[in-house]
Structure 1
Amino acid sequence: MTRPLRLLLAASLAALVAAANPAAAASPAVSPAPKAAAKVGPKASGKAADNRVMIFFDNDFLGPGQSNIQSMIPLLRDPRVNLLGVGVVTGDAWMTEETAHLLRFLEIAGRPDVPVYKGSPMPLLRTQAEMANWEARFGRIPFKGAWNAPRPGRTYHPDEPDLVPPLPEGAPTIKPRHEGAVEALVAAVHAHPGQVTIVAAGPLTNIALALRVAPDIAQLAKEIVIEPGKLDTAFARTTSNTDYSTDFNFLFDPEAAHIVLTAPWKAITLVGNVSSSVRASPEVIAKIAASPSPVARYFKTYARTGQPLWDEITVALAIDRSLVTQDLTVRMDVDTMPGMHYGEPQVWPEETAPRTGVRQVHLVRAIDADRFLSGFVGQARQ
């Protein structure tokens, strides 16, 4: 399939999915939004509330624990945050199961008021069968998220997207909102023009669909902060943990990544390789576990030792940009052509970049890891 045809198909499919709004369809698992939604974010009044960072967070919440769920901790505990809503997208696991894990964590954290919105259950174009065909030609992708084969000790169910296995942490009693994630994101940006930071730490399907429904959100949002985009990781995949060096978020939905990266945002910040710079070491887990709080106990029970704090770092940088100690301005896109580089990010310096819609991206290269870790540990102990 040629690139123009693939992109045309992606755009058409996105418009159809958004028009149908399947996330808002009636379902026993979904309840209508209350007439008066509870205030979200830390309580604040007067000028202090106006200075908080407005965030709409979109992620694939594999659970329990691990980086996806743990990234909610700064959003819930940092008083500088006004969390407008959380969208869920299929990626590391199926969207329905991810939603259940997220809702249960919010109960444990004492924040059932946070609005959760179900998003896209599938990538725009990529399918499980197509990925298998790609692997047969170009080599195995070790981590395939929701499409992982069943394995001992894990709950992967690649052929049952609506299945929610028994949750180790217990089933939630709260429900997601009636509106879908795409609808909620568009509404949030329209309601607060120039103020909303969109943080996307999973596949970019929901964000791409929102751009197809309401292209103006790219100009109306304050910025978008993205956590895929790992570069030059071939050697790391050979010598280190292959799963930790593979850019799953782009690979799972390359067309969505292309749509998002080429939209006319005011600012795009990409947290790529640096998101692997700090890990959930035994020492970090022990420090958090010393607290008796429900969130600390949850972290102790379900954190994956040695896993990079990918999404936690991304959220922290969206809240406090002073944590960035080095960045680089580049032009970036994602390869959507059939072949071995399908789904990989492509970057150029300004002087050699193509003039076909690729945008400037602020690529974070280094952070104040000690200050980030100190802040995160303190928040997780609350």
Structure 2
Amino acid sequence: MLRIMRTLLALWVAMVLSLGTAHAADGPRKVIIDDEGFQLMHLMLLESSEVEVVGITTVSGNTWANRATAMVLRGLEIAGRPDVPVAQGATYPLLNSEALTKRWEAIYGKLTWKGAWMKQWVEPTAQTTPAYYGPDDPVNLPGGNPTLKPSPEIAANFLIRMVRQYPGEITIVACGPLTNLALAQRLDPQFASLVGELVYMGGSLNPHQVLDDQQAQEFAREFANSPRREFNARFDPESASIVSRSPWRKLTIIPVDPSTATQRTRTLLERVAKAAKPDVAAFVSDLEPGFPLWDEIAAGYVLDPAMVTNAEDLYVDYNTQFGANYGDMLSWREHYQPDLGEQKAYVVRAIDPVRLEAVMVEAMQQGAQSDE
């Protein structure tokens, strides 16, 4: 009799859990954005009715974490989304540093882009020269600083708490260095297994210049002679390797490769701005054109996976040896991986750029309609 009662109880619990899961699946997909600033990718996910952004975490990469946090908070004010919590993350990579990068360049040659450590372009470039800041410099954003304040919780703890609150329901979209995710995994070994899907922009397999213009040619400098190198992974190779060996339920990687067929043109910015609500439209109109749509592809994949035209299952890791290939992407097909914990990943090799642009416009339209 006791055994029967236990069986019935187990069936009841399973039914309740399945109903909860079905209910969650019926609603918008829960998303946490992990990145180093505020850009079109954030707006695509914030404005879309297909997802619910339940938090944003920041990390150093293109700029320092404190500045990235201020940019996100200001962006949320522009988007009219003060409800989205923002948790500041890691200021420094796990091991890499500005001093080590200078030493590496003295031995192996100049990097095209160094993010927060960038002071000038090696050669004339169409893109503006980034301003250089220290990690603790005061933040004074053009147009004023935000009035919104970040959460007192650090990013790694926020990530752990959220995936434990919503096990299997959260998609993390990471478009910067993976330091916060590596820290979360080291703090909580169950972290990765509680994430529904990790989608990150990073790594590089063998990209080729597709668009025939000066800016596309300039961006090709980054991979023409070092096709396995990409900034997000190169900024913190150790974190990228930890993430590669973590037990994700589903891992999707957007390397540089599909971005070479895309470009943030002035025409595209005008289309996106025209579809957006006024404050967002003004922000979009002020964006600098010419960049590939690296991170927008990651957001676009979450909103419309059918935009992928070529993908491959690969085992991925990153080179953490301080040598000429430090930070480069490593990849293997089934049976060839070294079996040191590498996880199988769905790696996007190509996308439909026209469909991506349509997704960007549609997300802005949804945001404008919800604001009426």
Shorter-chain TM-score bucket reads 0.7 to 0.9
Matching residue's letter, 1:268 = L
Deviations 1:225-282 (A, max 9, x none): 1100112359899954256645100000000000000111122100011134321112
Q: Helix, strand or coil: the match of 1:361?
A: strand
Residues 327 and 111 of structure 1: is their aligned pair in 2 closer, same or farther, counting only changes over 3 Å? same
1:346 deviates by 0.6
Q: Distance in 2 between matches of 1:243 and 1:97?
A: 27
CA RMSD of the aligned region, Å? 2.4
Residues 233 and 129 of structure 1: is their aligned pair in 2 closer, same or farther, counting only changes over 3 Å? farther
Residues 120 and 164 of structure 1: is their aligned pair in 2 closer, same or farther, counting only changes over 3 Å? same
1:197 is aligned to 171
Matching residue's letter, 2:300 = A
Conserved 8 A contact 2:208-2:260: no
1:252 is aligned to 235
Q: Distance in 2 between matches of 1:119 and 1:289?
A: 30
Residues 283 and 219 of structure 1: is their aligned pair in 2 closer, same or farther, counting only changes over 3 Å? same
Q: Distance in 2 between matches of 1:114 and 1:165?
A: 21
Conserved 8 A contact 1:143-1:243: no
Conserved 8 A contact 1:97-1:162: no
1:176 is aligned to 150
Matching residue's letter, 1:260 = V
Count of aligned pairs between the two proteins: 329
Q: 2:131 aligns with which of 122, 133, 156?
A: 156
1:106 deviates by 0.8
**Is 1:346 matched with 2:320?**
no
Unaligned runs of 5+ in 1: 1-45, 62-67
Matching residue's letter, 2:348 = V
Matching residue's letter, 1:280 = R
1:166 deviates by 2.8
Q: Distance in 2 between matches of 1:147 and 1:336?
A: 19
Q: Helix, strand or coil: the match of 2:172?
A: strand
1:51 deviates by 2.9
Matching residue's letter, 2:266 = P
Deviations 1:62-93 (A, max 9, x none): xxxxxx52111121111111211100000000
**Is 1:143 matched with 2:143?**
no
Q: Distance in 1 between matches of 2:248 and 2:24?
A: 27
2:10 is aligned to none
Q: Distance in 2 between matches of 1:200 and 1:54?
A: 14
Q: Distance in 2 between matches of 1:234 and 1:143?
A: 18
Q: Distance in 2 between matches of 1:73 and 1:305?
A: 16
2:13 is aligned to none
Q: How does 1:227-306 map to 2 (within 5 A)?
A: 227-233=201-207, 240-242=218-220, 245=223, 247-272=230-255, 273-290=257-274, 293-301=278-286, 303-306=287-290
Q: 1:122 aligns with which of 92, 98, 106?
A: 92
Conserved 8 A contact 1:324-1:366: yes
Q: 1:185 aligns with which of 159, 165, 179?
A: 159
Q: Helix, strand or coil: the match of 1:328?
A: strand
Unaligned runs of 5+ in 2: 1-21, 122-126, 224-228
Matching residue's letter, 1:204 = L
Percentage identity across paired residues of the two chains: 35
Q: Distance in 1 between matches of 2:332 and 2:71?
A: 39
Matching residue's letter, 2:131 = Y
Q: Helix, strand or coil: the match of 1:71?
A: helix
Matching residue's letter, 1:365 = R
Conserved 8 A contact 1:93-1:156: no
Conserved 8 A contact 1:58-1:200: yes
Q: 1:52 aligns with which of 28, 34, 40?
A: 28
Conserved 8 A contact 2:176-2:201: yes
Matching residue's letter, 2:177 = P
When normalised by structure 1's length, the TM-score is: 0.80
Residues 296 and 185 of structure 1: is their aligned pair in 2 closer, same or farther, counting only changes over 3 Å? same
Q: Helix, strand or coil: the match of 1:346?
A: strand
Q: Helix, strand or coil: the match of 1:203?
A: coil
Conserved 8 A contact 2:273-2:280: no
